[in-house]
Structure 1
Amino acid sequence: MPNSQKNFSKNNYDYDDFHNSEIEVELATPWQRSAAYIINLAFFLVCCYVGTRLYIFHEGSQPKLMHIDDIALTICLLIPSIPFITAQWIMMSKTGQSFGKRLMKIKVINLDGRNPGFVGTVLIREILFHTIISTFSYLLIKIFNLNENSTEQICNYLITFVCFLMLFRTEANCRTFQDYLAKTIVIKK
């Protein structure tokens, strides 16, 4: 169902912030957004697979030293991941689309209809959001003396699940925590 700029003003946004202009957009469906997330995750997992294959290839030709092995694994994982992440950031900055969003024909825009750029899509929606989640996990671990690995995993799964549920809140324009943080919405292109 198309949403107009007036619909956004009904959801506690100041209509004057939109410079009295009206734009017509159709929100991305929860399934499109979920599919885009899964596609991006699949691409990243392929990068990790390539990295582990590089490590296995490298491991066969090197003597066994524990700290060197950890460094080698990290480097092997970074070799395919850095180009992928860089390409994602460039695409998100220029078009508001990641690989998954592009394949699903959706994109991120500011509430006023503009492209959020690098600051909105990468710094706020991705880096700041994940920094907040990591800080929250770290504080839970330190305050309550919890197991580090399981607490991080539980926090990540919980946030992902809550964000998934938020996609179905049509009265809130299907916005997730990242959307609220960056003042964005995800629309069909």
Structure 2
Amino acid sequence: MPKFQKKFSKNIYDYYDFHDSESEIEVELASPWQRIAAYIINVALYSICIFLAALLYVFHKGFQPESMHINDIALNICILILSIPFITAQWIMMSKTGQSIGKRLMKIKVINLDGCNPGFVSTVFIREILFETIVSIFPYLLIKIFNLDPGYTEKIFNYLIIFICLFMLFRTNTNRRTLQDYLAKTIVIKV
């Protein structure tokens, strides 16, 4: 199994070497701006799916004020029809290559600390699903335990998580690893 070592350079301080007995590869950490742009691209693409689902619903079904519950169900079905293939494609890409569409366009990818492709468990299940589950459950627990206002607590907690992750992206001495990276034991590198 390859060993992970940090290599310091006079000009560029965010390179890594992965050593084993037969080969040596040097990788460069992704910049914070590349990671932020990749995230924005993924959110924009998902938003386009939601927008197209709303258009599909409006043009196919129309709006019927007398049956709002049916309208909500039909809209959710349209959203699922368009978002499930997008999310599935993103998960397959992340599992196989460590890249979502946004990461691929920004020429960055997720790898394990040992230099290998993390696969489904680390890139999709831990970095995305488990992390989002924790981020969703924690404010709910705060609301129930301390009897806090649900709207404000969720917003403050979500902004706090975003701020912490943004702050971590710019910290070179921690390898620009965010909370997701620590949870999944991954780093994001330039391709």
TM-score normalised to structure 2 length: 0.85
After TM superposition, what 4+ stretches of structure 1 lie above 3 angstroms from structure 2? 18-23
Higher strand share: 2
Tell me the SS of whatever aligns to 1:60.
Answer: coil
Following superposition, the deviation at residue 149 of structure 1 comes to: 3.2
Unaligned 5+ runs, structure 1: 9-17
Tell me the SS of whatever aligns to 2:6.
Answer: helix
Alignment of 1:73-112 (within 5 A): 73-112=75-114
Which residue does the alignment assign to 1:12? Answer: none
Matching residue within 175, 179, 189 for 1:173: 175
Q: Indicate yes or no: 2:43 matched with 1:44.
A: no
User: What number of residue pairs does the alignment pair up?
Assistant: 177
CA contact (8 A) 1:93 1:122 kept: yes
Which residue does the alignment assign to 1:13? Answer: none
For 2:5 and 2:32, locate their aligned partners in 1 and report how far apart those are by CA, in whole Å: 22
CA contact (8 A) 1:23 1:113 kept: no
Aligned amino acid, residue 134 of structure 1: S
Alignment of 1:9-158 (within 5 A): 23-60=25-62, 64-158=66-160
Following superposition, the deviation at residue 61 of structure 1 comes to: 6.4
CA contact (8 A) 2:63 2:71 kept: no
CA contact (8 A) 1:137 1:155 kept: yes
CA contact (8 A) 1:125 1:181 kept: yes
For 2:120 and 2:139, locate their aligned partners in 1 and report how far apart those are by CA, in whole Å: 26
Aligned amino acid, residue 5 of structure 1: F
- Superimposed CA distance per residue, residues 53-109 of structure 1 (whole angstroms, 9 cap, x where no aligned partner): 122224426573132122112112111111110000000000000000000000000
Higher helix share: 1
Aligned amino acid, residue 55 of structure 2: R
TM-score normalised to structure 1 length: 0.86
Tell me the SS of whatever aligns to 2:5.
Answer: helix
For 2:103 and 2:66, locate their aligned partners in 1 and report how far apart those are by CA, in whole Å: 42
Following superposition, the deviation at residue 5 of structure 1 comes to: 3.1
Unaligned 5+ runs, structure 2: 8-18
Identity %: 70
Tell me the SS of whatever aligns to 1:126.
Answer: helix
CA contact (8 A) 1:39 1:100 kept: yes
For 1:103 and 1:61, locate their aligned partners in 2 and report how far apart those are by CA, in whole Å: 38
Which residue does the alignment assign to 1:14? Answer: none
For 2:63 and 2:136, locate their aligned partners in 1 and report how far apart those are by CA, in whole Å: 36
